[in-house]
Amino acid sequence: MHQPKIYAVLTHNDSNTQNLIRNLLDHVLVEQLPDLQQLNGALFSRSEIDRFMDEEERHDIKILTKGNKQPLKTMSSGEQKKALLNHLLQLDPDFIVLVNPYDNLDVDSQSDLKHRLHTIASHKTLVQLVGRTEDILPTTSHFFELKGDTLTKFDSPEAFWQAHNSSAYSFEGSIPPPLEPIEMESPELVTFKNVSVSFDGRQVLENINWTIKPGEFWQLIGPNGSGKSTLLQMITGDSHKGYGQDLTLFGHKKGSGESVWDLKENIGYYAPAITDRFRGYHTLEHMVISGLHDSIGLYVQPTDAELNLAGQWLQLLGLQQHKTSYFRDLSTGEKRLVMLARAMVKHPPLLILDEPTAGLDDASAAFFVALVNKIAKESDTAIVSVSHRKEPHLDPQYIYRLVPAPNGSKGKKEIP
């Protein structure tokens, strides 16, 4: 039997993936992939799931969940992707285009999907568009790289891997000190003691015991639905589930009169979705300084000291020459670095990073991870990083793992 070809296209944050996908699916000749022009393709991507979800919600047309009472939007990311893949296989296309297939999946779901794709690849052509080299199937036979609209073919797998050996980044200089250090009297920033949480009668967390001290670097991990977001929301004050629990935040027992804003003054927080809130014309200087004021943009005249501090951070990031450029004009990777500087500019006692490298290419992710490691080593800020993906150079001191159980997830401290 003829072995189908398996293509891998390494994408970057500036790659025009939509144009390539459209050409492949519309039978437009792609010079480097001529064999696919006359074939029928199908798309496996997050955007396709969103499209089917919209059809289901707006028109009550069930395609991926046909015969299933559960709405698509209530399924986990793993279940949604499984439903999409089943649907595509029923259509029996000549090839399937896979766009970052493992994004938003926990470790077990990633493993299950990789195993299934490996089986599918034995009898069907796959075209992988991935931003991370670790996501490429091991049996891949043809390698490409997409930069902008330019698709480059590699002569051999060896040539591709030689050109894309990942390495750690390093920064010159130290992270800038805060203008005004935040003094903490308590030796513990966060303390959970036998905390259990239920939603609609279903217990999600059971007897969580977790203490975070100044300067510690934690990675919080666990499968989808294990309660990671619930834990974070109790720390940030965004969940009422912390009330009535033995939970102490920054020296104060939860429910002792503190406001959400009191908590947020001690926390630097970053998730990729926050970037979308900054839609105006904010300069890089003002973006960093806004972290001192906890504002979406800067609406006060910055002081000379604030401008100098912003300049030090931008110098560290290699963006000093763009200090008056607009944040909206940066690449995705550059935006993440500036947002991390914004979250860290006042050296908060606790820095929370929620899936910070999701959607980044290898180079941008490595740069971001290097900055996180540097902050961990050179400051007294405690860090909690949440991610489904194990970044190769991330260097946490401790792991707090949530392990699902019949009566809710239990917590387990581990040393990497």
Strands 95-99 and 125-130: parallel
Asked if residue 220 lies in contact with residue 396, where contact means CB atoms within 8 angstroms, the answer is: no
Confidence of residue 389 (pLDDT cuts 50, 70, 90): confident
Which band of pLDDT confidence, cut at 50, 70 and 90, is reported for residue 295?
Answer: confident
How far is residue 292's CA from residue 315's CA, in Å, rounded to a whole number? 18
DSSP string, 260-291: HHHHHTTEEEE-GGGGGG--S--BHHHHHHHH
d(CA 344, CA 336) in angstroms, rounded, equals 12
What pLDDT is stored for residue 300 in this prediction? 81
User: pLDDT tens digit string along 306-357?
Assistant: 999 999 999 999 999 999 999 999 988 899 999 999 999 999 999 999 999 9
Binning the chain into helix, strand and coil, the percentages to the nearest 5 are 35, 20, 40
pLDDT band at residue 78 under the 50/70/90 scheme: confident
Contact of 216 with 188, CB cutoff 8 Å: no
pTM equals 0.85
Instruction: Specify whether the backbone of 215 is left (phi greater than 0), alpha (psi in -120 to 50) or beta.
Output: left
Q: What is the DSSP string of 182-214?
A: ----SS-SEEEEEEEEEETTEEEEEEEEEEE-T
Over residues 376-397, the mean pLDDT reads 93
Q: Averaged over 357-364, what is the pLDDT?
A: 89
Tell me, rounded to whole angstroms, the distance of Cα 47 from its chain centroid.
17
Contact between residue 95 and residue 66 where contact means Cβ atoms under 8 Å apart: no
pLDDT tens digits, residue range 209-257? 999 999 999 999 998 889 999 999 999 988 888 788 899 999 888 877 6
Average confidence (pLDDT) over 25-35: 96
Task: Name the average pLDDT for the chain.
Answer: 91
- pLDDT level of residue 276 (50, 70, 90 thresholds): confident
- Average the pLDDT over 380-384 and give the result: 97
Q: How crowded is residue 29: how many other Cβ atoms within 10 Å of its Cβ?
A: 10
Total residues belonging to the chain: 416
Q: Residue 404 carries which DSSP code?
A: -
Residue 302 DSSP class: P
pLDDT tens-digit readout, 158-181: 999 999 887 777 788 899 999 999
- Residue 138 CB coordination number (10 Å): 8
